[in-house]
């Protein structure tokens, strides 16, 4: 079971902030880091998506997200296969933490369009976050406002991420590593993971060692 189980802990205590968030169709933004070495251009190679965590093997939730990854790989030209014979083994993992209640002043700069790459970003796997594995990345928290603000609200911020590795089955050589992460006020994996997968495959496979910010459509609210 992933660490997002349970009720959505999206918590706001001030009506002005609630109205601001519900009225603004803010895009989902993810920071994506990709590394590659000898990843072959699509030319009929087969692939199989497998769980990085053995506990996900056979799970319906993992199968749903693995299908999203497979669809993206097919879109760029690779061919579905099985784990016993596929040319490429794609290892996939995902998660979201339990959230942190943050104080945020009104009049803040938009956390999705300013200050995302602050000091300390990119600390993948740092301890101190919840769940079976540390989905906390140590970045500057964009949900804090700057100086000169007057009113203070409380918002619960969740850190989510996916991890994808591609190995050559014949010799086990690692050909690609990619990570996508996001901070948002949603902890719903059915919303988060598809967006993170979409971000991962934007301009795939990307430039080796480059970290980029990818924007995708915002979550639809009823």
At 1, the pLDDT band (50, 70, 90 cuts) reads very low
* Per-residue pLDDT at 24 exceeds 90: no
**pLDDT the model gives residue 105:** 65
Q: What is the pTM of this model?
A: 0.70
* Per-residue pLDDT at 180 exceeds 80: yes
Whose CA is closest to 114, among 143, 155, 138?
143
> What is the residue extent of each domain of the chain?
15-216
Q: How far apart are CA 137 and CA 126, in angstroms?
A: 6
**pLDDT the model gives residue 28:** 79
Residues 192-220: what's their mean pLDDT? 88
**pLDDT the model gives residue 153:** 79
* Per-residue pLDDT at 200 exceeds 60: yes
Whose CA is closest to 121, among 96, 139, 136?
139
Write out pLDDT tens, residues 123-161.
Answer: 333 333 333 444 444 443 444 444 554 567 788 889 999
The answer for residues whose C-beta is within 8 angstroms of residue 101's C-beta and 6 or more apart is: 11, 154, 155, 156
* Per-residue pLDDT at 3 exceeds 60: no
**pLDDT the model gives residue 184:** 87
**pLDDT the model gives residue 150:** 55
For residues 173 and 152, the model is more confident at 173
User: Which CATH number does the domain 15-216 belong to among 1.20.1290.10, 3.30.160.150, 3.40.50.261, 3.90.580.10?
Assistant: 3.30.160.150
How far from 198 is each of 11, 60, 132, 192, CA to CA, in Å? 27, 20, 24, 10
């Amino acid at each position: 079971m992933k660490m997002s189980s349970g009720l959505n802990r999206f918590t706001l205590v001030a009506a002005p902030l609630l109205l601001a968030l519900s009225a603004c169709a803010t895009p989902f933004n993810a920071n994506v880091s990709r590394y590659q070495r000898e990843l072959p251009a699509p030319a009929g190679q087969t692939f199989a998506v497998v769980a990085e965590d053995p506990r996900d093997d056979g799970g319906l939730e993992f199968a749903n997200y693995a299908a999203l990854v497979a669809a993206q790989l097919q879109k760029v030209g690779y061919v579905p296969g099985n784990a016993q014979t596929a040319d490429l083994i794609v290892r996939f993992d995902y998660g979201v933490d339990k959230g942190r209640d943050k104080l945020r002043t009104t009049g803040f700069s938009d956390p999705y369009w300013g200050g995302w790459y602050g000091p300390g970003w990119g600390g993948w796997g740092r301890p101190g976050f919840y769940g079976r594995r540390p989905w906390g990345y140590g970045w500057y928290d964009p949900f804090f406002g700057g100086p000169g603000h007057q009113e203070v609200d409380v918002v619960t911020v969740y850190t989510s991420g996916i991890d994808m590795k591609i190995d050559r089955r014949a010799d086990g050589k690692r050909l690609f590593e990619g990570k996508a992460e996001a901070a948002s006020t949603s902890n719903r994996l059915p919303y988060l993971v598809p967006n993170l997968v979409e971000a991962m495959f934007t301009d795939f496979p990307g430039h080796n060692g480059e970290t980029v910010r990818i924007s995708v459509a915002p979550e639809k609210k009823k």
